[in-house]
Structure 1
Amino acid sequence: MTTLLKSATIIDTSSPFNNQVKDILITNGTITKIDNNIPNQKEYKTVKLDNLHVSTGWFDTSVSLGEPGYEERETIKHGLEVAAKSGFTEIAVNPNTNPVTENKASVEFLINKATNFATNLYPIGTLTQQSKGIEMAELYDMQQSGAVAFGDYNKPINNDNLLKIALLYAQNFNGLVLSFPKNKAIAGDGVANEGVNSTTLGLKGIPNLAEEMQVARDLFLLEYTGGKLHIPTITTEKSVKLIKEAKKKGLDVSCSVAVHNLLLTDDELHGFDGNKKVNPPLRTKKDVKALVKGVRDGVIDIITTDHNPIDIEHKKVEFSIAKDGTIGLESAFGALNTILDLETITNCLSKNPKERFQIKLNTIKENEKANLSLFTPNGEYTFTKNNILSTSKNSVFLNKKLRGKIYGIFNNKQLILNS
């Protein structure tokens, strides 16, 4: 199949065509020509879209899918289709399934279920057996089967020595260890950011300290052991400072922030909407400002949707007992496009996460594999349930003003476009 993308603005800091408007010819999944005007002489499939922009394909490092065990929330098949139509060519899938992804067989199950899709699926294996934080899981076996990292999704490793051993052991095969930034003893039964809003609303608070103590501990351990550490979904100003200092020391640490924590604050809690209950929680304006600055300065390497489908039975309940999590694939670009420039967005969604998780990064140039996200930064709209493609509808961005539109992706010799 041959596809011709017409008048595409290329956003790729590694490409010689960055910020240029070009035609792109793709033959059998490979970019064969990039030029100012490529005539369609052989009735190629032509893609001509309003203010078309293309970047290297986006990779989301934290996506939860229900299957196996929670198929009513989302299946692998449908989740990959949603990811493609949201602009993502790759996703890393969290191990919070039933059973959890903790061995060779469960990793291979996910990979086999995800074959022949436009969006690639990369499993994250648990760091500990059954994600219970007691004994280390079969990390090497899982990596040999295709796992790209190891972490217990949204569960902290309370045992300091266990994390120390994991960081030491994973160095034998260049494994990436994830450590969720939450001190369970300090967080307690908290359900929202500790502050004026939680006090006013009578909600148990989670102080910034709960995150920052864990980040500090993880960085101390990393300094002692060496190895590769990724701290997912940080939310506080102090966490940014701690990671910045660690990077200055030369520690091999990266971190991510969820899209919703870059835009929304705990002011959203008024109304007790269960869709606004996320883990880590929404913080303050001061924290949001520090997180955005951290992204712009390069301290925060990766932006993730932290996409976590939850069925209505576990969301439309009393706030304190609602399950944590929001979907985020469909709203990610539209939200980020309201606060960040395109090069920062694409670097944090593509170049940086792929390099960190050791995923092949294809540049937009001739004779490279076509791995592309297609979008336009133009057009404001209100995000409603009509914009949700996921099976579960638990979006924190419902009724928010977003900007831009996803056209689709080209990957694995497949063109996926939104209708």
Structure 2
Amino acid sequence: MKILIKSATIVLPDSKYHQQTVDILLQNGKIEKIEKNISAEVDQTIEMKNLHVSLGWFDSSICFGEPGYEERETLTNGLKTAAKSGFTSIAVNPNSNPIADHSTSIKFLKSHHTQFGVGVYPVGALTVKSESVDLAELFDMKNAGAVSFSDYKKPIENPNLLKIALQYAQNFDALIQSFPQENAIARNGCAHEDFHSTQLGLKGIPALAEELQIARDLFILEYTGGKLHIPTISTEKSVQLIKEAKKKGLDVSCSVAIHQLIFTDEKLQGFNANYKVLPPLRSSKDAKALIKGLKDGIIDMVTTDHCPIDIEDKKVEFVNAAYGTIGLETAFAALKTIFSTEKTIDLLTKGRARFGIENPKFEKGEIANLTLFNPDYKYTFNEENIISTSKNSMFIDSKINGKVYGIYANHKLTLA
């Protein structure tokens, strides 16, 4: 099948085509030509207002419901959401039912690979049933296609278990994730411990709960070696701790959820459970430090931390509501409210190498892995813009800037 993309402005800082407006001819999944003007008989021509093209985007932390929580999100609709939001590769968390803690679960997720053009890269559970007691079958899951190991939103409470995991994983070059929260300090808190939680009568989760866990994990990493990823950090001190660890030469990476850059704990005033996430929304000082951490390269990647939650678990009292927000549909436009188009694309295309996923290339003869978008489309995001089955977005009624047209990847074109 031949597809011709007309008059596309390329956003790819490391490429000779950066900021050039070109035509792109795709045939049988590959880039056949990149020229100023291409005339050819094709099966489909794509022409769109203010069309821009970048390499396909990657997200390191995605949750879907299936298997077990299909009322939240099915894999089919979730992958359609990812594609129409501009993502060509996603790492899927193991918080299904049953927990993805063995090779069969990994193979099930991999069986959906390339649906709608989206590459699915499973994250296996670090421990059996994510109960933080016994290590899961890491080696078997790695052979089945797992790109990392994590107990999603559950800290590794036993430091010896993390030590053993980091030591064992070095035998097959695996990436271990450790969620940054010390439960003995967080306890049953549900909001950032600060002025707003006190004013609202909500039990707080201190920044210390995150920072103490990160400090512990970095000490263990220094002792064991290995590769550690700390997902969704949220405090100023966390950025500093990771900066110092990198200066020491430790093999550590981290991510930040996009909503942590945009919103702060002031949003809790209305007790809207869509703003209940883990880690909790922190202070404006923390948000500024996270943005700076991205600009300085200390924070390695952004994530939507997309987590669909059904209405029964969100439309309840704030303290009883489930943690999580969806974020795929708003990722690009939300980042554009802070960063330039070039920096936004840089952030959305980072992270693959850390998870052992090959980076795509924009050259003639290469497999096409592209995201199509308009960086200057301003609108107010509302529930009608949500593709996900669950509607738990904290971005509803937000004014954002940027529209995704779709993707071409894995021999498939998906348009929004």
SS in 1 for 2:60: strand
Counterpart residue number, 1:27 = 27
What TM-score, normalized by structure 1, do the two folds share? 0.98
Counterpart residue number, 1:409 = 407
In the alignment, the residues of structure 2 paired with residue 114 and residue 76 of structure 1 have an alpha-carbon distance, to the nearest angstrom, of 10
| Gap change, CA 1:313 and 1:18, over 3 Å in 2 | same
Counterpart residue number, 2:181 = 182
Counterpart residue number, 1:226 = 225
Q: Is the 1:57–1:409 contact (alpha carbons within 8 Å) kept by the matching residues of 2?
A: yes
Counterpart residue number, 1:150 = 149
Counterpart residue number, 2:8 = 8
Counterpart residue number, 2:321 = 322
Within a 5 Å distance, the mapping from 1:135-284 to structure 2 comes to: 135-284=134-283
SS in 2 for 1:25: strand
1:313-352 deviation digits (Å, cap 9, x = unpaired): 00000000100000010011110011012232222221x3
70-79 or 107-116, which deviates more: 107-116
1:53-106 deviation digits (Å, cap 9, x = unpaired): 111111111000000000000001110011000000011110000000000111
In the alignment, the residues of structure 2 paired with residue 138 and residue 12 of structure 1 have an alpha-carbon distance, to the nearest angstrom, of 39
Q: Does 1:387 align with 2:385?
A: yes
Counterpart residue number, 1:119 = 118
Q: Is the 2:232–2:279 contact (alpha carbons within 8 Å) kept by the matching residues of 1?
A: yes
Within a 5 Å distance, the mapping from 1:340-359 to structure 2 comes to: 340-350=339-349, 352-359=350-357
What TM-score, normalized by structure 2, do the two folds share? 0.98
| Gap change, CA 1:146 and 1:391, over 3 Å in 2 | same
Q: Is the 2:166–2:221 contact (alpha carbons within 8 Å) kept by the matching residues of 1?
A: yes
Within a 5 Å distance, the mapping from 1:28-107 to structure 2 comes to: 28-39=28-39, 41-107=40-106
Deviation at 1:50, TM superposition (A): 1.0
Deviation at 1:386, TM superposition (A): 0.6
7-16 or 223-232, which deviates more: 7-16
1:132-173 deviation digits (Å, cap 9, x = unpaired): 001111101000000000000000001001001101111111
In the alignment, the residues of structure 2 paired with residue 345 and residue 56 of structure 1 have an alpha-carbon distance, to the nearest angstrom, of 12
Q: Is the 2:114–2:410 contact (alpha carbons within 8 Å) kept by the matching residues of 1?
A: no
Q: Is the 2:234–2:290 contact (alpha carbons within 8 Å) kept by the matching residues of 1?
A: yes
In the alignment, the residues of structure 2 paired with residue 98 and residue 44 of structure 1 have an alpha-carbon distance, to the nearest angstrom, of 42
In the alignment, the residues of structure 2 paired with residue 11 and residue 357 of structure 1 have an alpha-carbon distance, to the nearest angstrom, of 23
Q: Is the 1:73–1:392 contact (alpha carbons within 8 Å) kept by the matching residues of 2?
A: yes
In the alignment, the residues of structure 1 paired with residue 158 and residue 96 of structure 2 have an alpha-carbon distance, to the nearest angstrom, of 23
Moved over 3 A (4+): 113-117
In the alignment, the residues of structure 2 paired with residue 356 and residue 264 of structure 1 have an alpha-carbon distance, to the nearest angstrom, of 27
Q: How many residues align structurally?
A: 416
Give unmatched runs, 5+ long, in structure 2: none
In the alignment, the residues of structure 1 paired with residue 43 and residue 74 of structure 2 have an alpha-carbon distance, to the nearest angstrom, of 34
Give unmatched runs, 5+ long, in structure 1: none
SS in 2 for 1:68: coil
In the alignment, the residues of structure 2 paired with residue 313 and residue 116 of structure 1 have an alpha-carbon distance, to the nearest angstrom, of 29
Amino acid at match of 2:362: I
SS in 2 for 1:169: helix
Q: Is the 1:54–1:372 contact (alpha carbons within 8 Å) kept by the matching residues of 2?
A: yes
Counterpart residue number, 1:17 = 17
Counterpart residue number, 2:369 = 371
1:157-198 deviation digits (Å, cap 9, x = unpaired): 010010011011111111000000001001111000000100
Q: Is the 1:76–1:114 contact (alpha carbons within 8 Å) kept by the matching residues of 2?
A: no
4-13 or 309-318, which deviates more: 4-13
Q: Is the 1:327–1:394 contact (alpha carbons within 8 Å) kept by the matching residues of 2?
A: yes
Deviation at 1:114, TM superposition (A): 3.9
SS in 1 for 2:402: strand
Deviation at 1:116, TM superposition (A): 4.2
Deviation at 1:15, TM superposition (A): 2.2
Q: Does 1:309 align with 2:308?
A: yes
In the alignment, the residues of structure 2 paired with residue 382 and residue 282 of structure 1 have an alpha-carbon distance, to the nearest angstrom, of 22
In the alignment, the residues of structure 2 paired with residue 83 and residue 116 of structure 1 have an alpha-carbon distance, to the nearest angstrom, of 10
CA RMSD of aligned residues (A): 1.0
Amino acid at match of 1:312: I
Counterpart residue number, 2:359 = 361
42-51 or 279-288, which deviates more: 42-51
In the alignment, the residues of structure 2 paired with residue 203 and residue 21 of structure 1 have an alpha-carbon distance, to the nearest angstrom, of 52
Q: Is the 2:76–2:115 contact (alpha carbons within 8 Å) kept by the matching residues of 1?
A: no
In the alignment, the residues of structure 1 paired with residue 220 and residue 20 of structure 2 have an alpha-carbon distance, to the nearest angstrom, of 45
Deviation at 1:113, TM superposition (A): 3.6
250-259 or 108-117, which deviates more: 108-117
SS in 1 for 2:49: coil
| Gap change, CA 1:280 and 1:15, over 3 Å in 2 | same
| Gap change, CA 1:292 and 1:408, over 3 Å in 2 | same
Deviation at 1:32, TM superposition (A): 1.0
1:207-236 deviation digits (Å, cap 9, x = unpaired): 100000011111111111111110000000
